[in-house]
Structure 1
Amino acid sequence: MHDHSDSVTPIVVVLGGGMSNDGRGGPATILRARKAVKLAKANPTWTFILSGDGRVDPASSDLTEAQFMARILVEAGVDGSRLLLEDESRDTIGNAVLVAARYLRHLQPRTLYVVTSPFHSTRALLLFRGVLGPAWDVQVAASSPARGDATRRANEPGGIDWTRRFFAGITPGDLKACIRKLIADRPGYATSRTLQFDDNPDGSDTTLGTAA
Structure 2
Amino acid sequence: MHLLLVEDDHLVAQGLIRSLRQEGYSVEHSGTVKHALECLSSGEIELVILDLGLPDGDGSQVLKHIKEQKVIPVVILTARGSIDDKVQGLDMGADDYLAKPFDPAELFARLRVVSRRINQTQSSLLRCGDVVMDTSAHTVKLSGQSLTLPRKEYMLLKALMENQGRVQSKQQLENKLYQWGEEVGSNAIEVHIHHLRKKFPSDFIKTLRGIGYVVGKR
Per the shorter chain, which TM-score range?
A: under 0.3
- TM-score where L is the length of structure 2: 0.27
* More contact order relative to length (CA 8 Å, sep ≥ 6): 1
TM-score normalised according to structure 1 size: 0.27
Structure 1 or 2, whichever has the larger Rg, is 2
Q: Higher strand share goes to which structure?
A: 2
